[in-house]
Amino acid sequence: MSAPELTVERVELLRLSMPLRLPFRTSFGTQTHRDVVLARVDCGGVEGWGELVAGSGPWYSEETVGSALVLLREHIVPLMVGASFSHPSAVARLLAPIRGNHMAKATVETACWDAWALAGGESLAHVIGGVRDRVPTGVSVGIQDSVAQLLDLIERHLAEGYARIKVKVEPGWDVEPLAAIRERFGDIPLMADANSAYRLNDASRLQQLDGFDLTMVEQPLAHDDIADHAVLARQLATPICLDESLHSAALTRHALDLGACAIVNVKIGRLGGHDESRAVHRLCVERRVPVWCGGMLETGVGRLHNLAIASLPGFTLPGDTSASKRYWEADIIDPPVTLAADGTVAVPGAGGIVSRLDRDRLSALVDGRESFS
């Protein structure tokens, strides 16, 4: 791709609160809305958009909306304003001296990728190496009040055409609901996501999940524990997928070397942006390890970034790139992300995220703006 060198002239941070269509419960707790921060990066008339995926509290990650905003205001944005880049990989290198804070960094790093693709007249998917114009997608189903409620919800999602069902589990909400799903729906593609709800001494309980022919069990043990996942992996027939434990290509390599996982969840925010996500993808392709794109209840802005990364060749499993209406009565992009009858969603084409923004909807939701130049 041939694109001009871009200079970041202004960064704008927009805050908004978006209510979820339905409460979403995991082992961390129940979420009814998202505190959203969007970044708009202005590069001489070309604008790129990114989304902060941190939560309101430090449950999934130590990063929160509040802490990320401090990092953005005081450290990240000052580095970005006035910086020039001829390729967006330079943005990751510029931000590398800031330790951790991957979600905060990804907010502007992804926006710069979006701007660079737009400046070159290419789609984001194409410039990061994507090879597909549609990707299969699954749906993530939170912990419900009853098994009957869970089954009814899954039935609706299967009727909508989703290619895979992922259910959140925790001790006491695992064997019974999974058994009921298999009894009612047969051999549908099914996985379980524990969000670090178990400990190694729960191995005998987790071994009971082997009887349900799951595609994977995701992040069963602690978020910062790779070694015990390697021990657990030797005790389970079900493949382990790691999510919260993997913040870089280097950590992913360590996990694979130890045998801690057989599948990798790629989340752009958790990894600090597209550049590190592509590095994880390259490593997993070399090791012949399947990857898929996880979700963080993103608005359409983050969802379009997810669809772009999910178009890379190593993403062989359906991701959490559900349709906009799965979470929002009305998204902030138009047209919204929609699910086709074959269980796929379209990868965004050229024109940048700016071409998909619903400006009226966005303006109605924004309750705070900060501009830096």
Contact 210, 234 (CB under 8 A): no
- Distance of alpha carbon 72 from the chain centroid: 20
CA distance 221 to 332: 35
Angle between helices 102-119 and 274-287 (to 10 degrees): 90
Report which secondary-structure segment, H or E, holds 32. strand 29-43
CA distance 46 to 246: 33
**Active site residue: 105, 166, 267, 325, which one?**
267
**Structure-token pair, residue 360:** 């009226």
267 belongs to the catalytic site = yes
Of the candidates 280, 304, 338, the one whose C-alpha atom is nearest the C-alpha of residue 110 is 304
168 belongs to the catalytic site = yes
Of the candidates 250, 253, 247, 287, the one whose C-alpha atom is nearest the C-alpha of residue 266 is 247
Contact 150, 144 (CB under 8 A): yes
SS (H, E, C) 111-175: HHHHHHHHHCCCCHHHHHCCCCCEEEECEEECCCCCHHHHHHHHHHHHHHCCCCEEEECECCECH
Report which secondary-structure segment, H or E, holds 48. strand 46-52
Structure-token match 């990707």, residue found: 135
Burial classification of residue 124, based on how many CB atoms lie within 10 Å of its CB (0-12 exposed, 13-18 middle, 19 or more buried):
buried
**Active site residue: 105, 166, 168, 325, which one?**
168
What b/e readout covers 319-332, taking b as 16+ CB neighbours within 10 angstroms? bbbbbbebbbeebb
Indicate which residues carry an active-site annotation: 168, 267
